[in-house]
Amino acid sequence: MDPLTLLVTGAAIAVTPFAAIALWHLVPVIFRAFIGTIGSCAGWYLRKKTDGRRALIIRATEDGEASFREKNEANGAVGGGKADGEEGNTDREWTGIVGFFHPFCNAGGGGERVLWAAVRATQQRWPKAKIVVYTGDHDVSKDKMLSRVKNTFSIDIHPPTIHFLYLSTRHWVLATTWPHATLLGQSLGSVIMGWDAFSLVVPDIFVDTMGYAFTLGLSKLLFPKVPTAAYVHYPTISTDMLESLDPKSAVGNQGVNAGKGAGFKGALKRHYWKLFAALYSRMGASVDVVMTNSTWTQGHIQSLWGARRKDRSRQHEIAVVYPPCAVTDIEEAVELTEQAEKKREKCIVYIAQFRPEKNHKLILNSFAEFVQSGSAASKDAKLVLLGSVRDDSDSRRVYELRLLANELHIKDRVIFKLDVPWSEVLEWLGKAYIGANGMWNEHFGIGVVEYQAAGLISVVHNSGGPKLDIVADIDGEPTGFHATTTTEYAEGFEKAFSLPDPLAVRLRARKSSRRFSDEEFTKRWLAQLEKVVGAMP
């Protein structure tokens, strides 16, 4: 071999490892660039496709405002429905489209209360903005939707600036569509539903209020310059969920998946969940502004999304924005005085849907242990279970709970109240003594806030939102009790019924509940959304 060939061969051999390393690092960059280009092209296509509908929304808003103003003037009203302080405030002149992604907006639960309180706050802050809600509730018109919001939540939405765009792909996120690999299936379904939404109109700001992180990731892929925001009620997957699979872990006996990580199938489930958690983290890292409903949720979202968000230079911290609760309505309905104290009945209420994670069995067993103690406090005490029944599985669960009450010999002391109206819930809040909560790692606990607003002595699970945010000391004094085991709950009931000055605790609990009012939510929500509007190009 001649010297030149030898030199070239040696040089090639020498640089091969470095070339391989460079290629190894370049492939992901090239792949991301390729995907980004595809995404941007698809985003451009969607913008062009939906330009016509955007124009229609703008025109419909202008016509709606004119009609609304004329109607008000005809009725002698002043102001045309505009928010107070609009005049002369140029910061309120933003006219873009805010898209709220909430496919089940007519469900009437706590998540929907957050949505509508957020919409109202956004309308008041930016009266000229257009609000679009992406929903799958095809059977409900705009008028009926807003009427239900008013009747259910006492929230008035300004009609001219809100528009509903109807999704045809909501079935893709139903658990029944994905009997296996449900977490991944529903997330992929949310991507299909997200494409459906953007095919209707591309907003100037995209806000997810249901927890569809993969839809937010799709938004960033298609429209990198469109600011995004997320209100997270609970993480789709959490470190606690992963730990609960291990029967030997500290939480291996908690939750609906407790101990299911054993054996070959359990090992597959653990690996599947870890892979999903990694994908979930990537999606969450793309969001510009993240809000969580509690300290517990914030901690888990931070552990999952935090590192990647930092890598992507997301400048806004993950913020806690407590959900708005009916604190004012309950205060007006329930009196806390010495006279009202005499009308309280010796009963414990548990307000919760009859879902497995609500752990009604724990409360029944605890109440039975309390009754069987034979203490003076337990004499004539009753347990009232109030909750909604969604389907046949919930109905079967109620039947099983009735059987359990019979087996525990407390049948005559347990009252089941199913699908009762809010007016009856208020009655029980006004006359009950204790409010119970049995769910492990309840992400927030609106029902517990309602207990506090009504002045009930809370006995709640020693985890999640009820522990970290709600049943906390006020002025250095307790507002309720925490428990984990049946014995601890029974002891909590005993302590609550034996308080020497229950009215003082009730008043502290009510004071505590005011942290979760509509006004507090509005203040925190706008502080975060202003960051998104400020990021507009």
**What is the model's pLDDT at position 364?**
97
Residue 419 gets the label, from left (phi > 0), alpha (psi -120 to 50) or beta, of left
Q: What are phi and psi of 103, to 5 degrees?
A: -60, -20
Q: Is the pTM of this model over 0.85?
A: no
| 454-469: average pLDDT | 95
CA-closest candidate to residue 200, choices 234, 168, 175: 168
What's the average model confidence in pLDDT over 372-376? 95
Q: What share of the chain is helix, strand, coil (3-state, %, to 5)?
A: 55, 10, 35
Q: How high is the pLDDT of residue 115?
A: 96
pLDDT on residue 1: 53
> Quick check: 308 pLDDT over 50?
yes
Residue 515 carries which DSSP code?
Answer: G
pLDDT for the residue 152: 81
Of the pLDDT bands very low, low, confident and very high (cuts 50, 70, 90), residue 70 is confident
**439: confidence class by pLDDT, cuts 50, 70, 90:** very high
Q: Mean pLDDT of all residues in the chain?
A: 87
Q: Is the pLDDT higher at 288 or at 30?
A: 288
pLDDT bin (cut points 50, 70, 90) of residue 349 is very high
Terminal C-alpha separation, the chain:
63
pLDDT confidence of 74, banded at 50, 70, 90? confident
The CATH fold of domain 44-67+93-233+285-324+520-534: Rossmann fold (3.40.50)
Task: Report the pLDDT value the prediction gives residue 265, as an integer from 0 to 100.
Answer: 74
Contact 215, 238 (CB under 8 A): no
pLDDT average, residue stretch 400-419: 95
User: Is there a contact between 72 and 79 (Cβ–Cβ < 8 Å)?
Assistant: yes
Q: Which residues pair with 474 in a beta bridge?
A: 477
Lowest mean pLDDT among 85-99, 164-178, 180-194, 223-237: 85-99
CB contact at 8 A, 293 and 232: yes
Q: What ranges do the domains of the chain cover?
A: 44-67+93-233+285-324+520-534, 327-516
The band of 177, judged by pLDDT with boundaries at 50, 70 and 90, is very high
Task: Provide the CATH topology of domain 327-516.
Answer: Rossmann fold (3.40.50)
How many angstroms separate the Cα of 241 from the Cα of each of 170, 251, 261, 298, 353?
26, 9, 11, 15, 21
Q: Would you say residue 453 has pLDDT above 90?
A: yes
pLDDT number for residue 23: 44
Quick check: 237 and 244 in contact, CB under 8 A?
no
| 3-state DSSP assignment of residue 84 | coil
The pLDDT confidence band at residue 423, using thresholds 50, 70 and 90, is confident
Give the mean pLDDT of 384-399.
89
Q: Select, from the ranges 11-20, 69-78, 241-250, 482-491, the one with the highest average predicted confidence (pLDDT).
A: 482-491
Kindly state the average pLDDT of the residues 281-298: 94
